[in-house]
């Protein structure tokens, strides 16, 4: 499906990325167009993945959506209000867990609530529940170096959810993990997301992961970074590990990969033509 609006969405967008672009100006050099204008409409509670080769602007777009990077043009709004750095409605999970090594798991998880001055009984209860859901309840007094990589990512995810964000932005949070751990965390992420009115934008290079997790997959291309296609993933929810053996799932993965391969081929041809000139 071409376009950026969720099928069946009604009313104004929960998240609106309206013509967002990014150009880096280099002193003494030509401008670098990292991201061409992008438009995306996301409904509340949607799970959308951004896929594409390295250098296509996925992380740039995510950081602009988080308010952590200024756009050269366009706007990002959440429920009609522009996003800014430190927006309490938005939480970010990075590729590395970024846990503070001198704080325990518990202290890392409650840190956002503490920073925002909202560390009340309700926040503590949420933190306890998230540690239980992520299998870390018995490790809350441990320090990051005492945990495996997968456990550290679980702690980082719990930390990103404790503030009950409206929008969760995830930048390849499982990229450094082995396939078994990655798939297990995919399942845990869906379990944590299910039933919460939380919109998720998930950056990944892994097409199978994107299809498994998402309501829609947005395909991006590099040189310059741009959004090419947004496709629906009409697989039933809840998603369970059993779906990974389903033919319809494989077909969706193949179709998405074909779109990405076609996009990559076109980008290579365009780059070669530019080099020839």
Q: Binning pLDDT at 50, 70 and 90, where does residue 11 land? A: low
CA 58 to chain centre: 9
| pTM, rounded to two decimals | 0.87
Q: Locate 70 and state its tokens.
A: 């200024």
pLDDT of residue 272: 43
Q: pLDDT at residue 152 above 90?
A: yes
CA distance 73 to 191: 36
Residue in the block written with tokens 């518990």: 106
- The pLDDT of residue 5: 53
* Alpha-carbon distance values, 44 to 12, 105, 274 (Å): 10, 30, 41
Map residue 93 onto helix, strand or coil.
Answer: strand
Q: Of 3-7, 54-58, 227-231, where does mean pLDDT reach its minimum? A: 3-7
pLDDT digits (tens, 9 = 90+) for 190-229: 988 987 889 999 999 999 999 999 999 999 998 789 999 9
At 3, the pLDDT band (50, 70, 90 cuts) reads very low
């Amino acid at each position: 499906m071409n376009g950026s609006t969720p099928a069946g969405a009604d009313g104004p967008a929960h998240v609106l990325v309206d013509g967002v672009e990014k150009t880096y100006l280099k002193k003494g050099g030509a401008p670098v167009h990292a991201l061409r204008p992008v438009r995306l409409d996301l409904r509340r509670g949607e799970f959308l993945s951004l896929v594409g080769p390295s250098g296509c602007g996925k992380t740039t777009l995510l950081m602009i959506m988080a308010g952590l990077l200024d756009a050269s043009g366009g706007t990002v709004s959440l429920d009609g209000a522009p996003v800014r750095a430190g927006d309490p409605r938005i939480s970010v999970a990075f590729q590395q867990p970024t846990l503070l090594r001198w704080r325990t798991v518990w202290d890392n998880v409650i840190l956002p609530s503490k920073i925002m001055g909202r560390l009340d009984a309700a926040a503590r209860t949420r933190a306890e529940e998230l540690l239980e859901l992520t299998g870390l309840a018995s490790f809350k007094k441990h320090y990051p170096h005492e945990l495996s990589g997968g456990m550290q990512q679980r702690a980082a995810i719990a930390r990103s959810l404790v503030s009950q964000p409206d929008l969760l932005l995830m930048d390849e949070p499982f990229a450094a993990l082995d396939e078994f751990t990655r798939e297990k965390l995919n399942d845990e992420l869906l379990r944590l997301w299910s039933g919460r009115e939380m919109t998720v934008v998930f950056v990944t290079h892994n097409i199978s992961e994107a299809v498994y997790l998402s309501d829609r997959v947005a395909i991006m291309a590099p040189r310059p970074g741009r959004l090419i296609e947004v496709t629906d993933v009409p697989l039933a929810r809840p998603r369970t590990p059993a779906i990974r053996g389903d033919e319809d799932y494989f077909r969706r993965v193949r179709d998405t990969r074909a779109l990405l391969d076609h996009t990559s081929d076109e980008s290579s041809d365009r780059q070669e033509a530019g080099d020839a000139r």
